[in-house]
Amino acid sequence: MAEGESYPSISEMIEQGLPPEYLPIMIISMILLLFMIAVSIWNVMRHKKFSTKQPIQFFCNMGILQVYPFFTLMHTTSLVVPKFTDVAVFLAEFYEALTFLFFLRLVLTFMGGKKNHKDTLKGQHVHLNVFPINCFICLPEIQYSHRYFRINECLIVFYSIYTTVLGYINLVSVMDSSSTYPANAVEQKFSLFFHISGFWVLIIAIYGLSGIFHSAQDQLVHRNIVKKFLVYKVYVTLVKLQIVIIGAVAHHEGFDQGFDYNELFTTESRIKALNSFFVVVEAALFFPLAVYYYPIDDYNHPHALPTLKPRVISNTAAKEELLEDGLGGGKYPSSKVETIPVETV
């Protein structure tokens, strides 16, 4: 391997050989990737057929479900092309951040828009001890309000922005440090800080989205809205926790940072490869369950109607409309009231 590089190239892997565990996990990961791509294509075609009248719901469903094949694709690619590892982790976390926005948009779509969602749930009692602080049963109940919704919404949006911005900074830092392997202490500490802080920001975002989901579960009981989110949040929490543990171990002062196989793979790179393999296996396990909780029957349930607002039409407008309909000659009404849907999204 070239001096100062932390990951081998494909040609070096072919010429000098692979660690004993590397080839099996590459083969298994590629098989799982092909399986998930096939299932994903079948699922997209199946949903597309029944979702012609709910394009936003279809978009959100597919955006959420594709996170599992996308994670598999990124981490399998990092196994085949180790130099792509840091970029793959950034892209996977970026897509994960977008998925939270898909979830928020999905529940608002089911409820008929943001305004209708807030108006429908306003005044209802909601529990504060939702995931991940379910054990704090001493927390009081509060009334659902616009302020409660805005706070939870801000937690979700903050996570998406935080993950994207700091993830990009961390990627640039890691790629810069790869030219001077091993990385200096400052770059290692920043990378570790990003992953640890990212985990806690993820927990906060999960709490915000759980609050919105649980408050609407009675209105959306037929859609299994809580179970939809449960599968995803367990998976991403597990993946994020693995990354934090791997990062903490790999950057520990007493950890062996040297090359331990044919002067090609570092101990750190081998552990990261195993982590990528675990992410792929976990995605393959959670993906069928996620598909199950997004049935095509969801498209048969009508969404909540937007809030209706009365609009008064002037006497002149009422006259003109009556004349156009050929109903003139009678006594014109002093006013005419009609109800029109108001855009709430």
List, for residues 282-333, the tens digit of each pLDDT value. 999 999 999 999 988 888 776 655 544 444 445 555 555 545 545 444 444 4
Confidence of residue 82 (pLDDT cuts 50, 70, 90): confident
* pTM score above 0.85: no
**What pLDDT is stored for residue 320 in this prediction?**
55
Average pLDDT rounded to a whole number, residues 41-54: 89
Residue 110 has pLDDT above 90, yes or no: no
pLDDT of the residue at 281: 94
Q: What is the mean pLDDT of residues 20-26?
A: 83
Residue 236 reports pLDDT greater than 50: yes
pLDDT of residue 50: 85
- Mean pLDDT, range 165-174, rounded to an integer: 87
Q: Taking residues 173-177, what's their average pLDDT?
A: 75
pLDDT of residue 184: 58
Per residue in 132-145, pLDDT (tens digit) is 777 777 778 888 88
Burial of residue 186 (CB within 10 Å: 0-12, 13-18, 19+) is: exposed
- pLDDT at 192 (0 to 100): 78
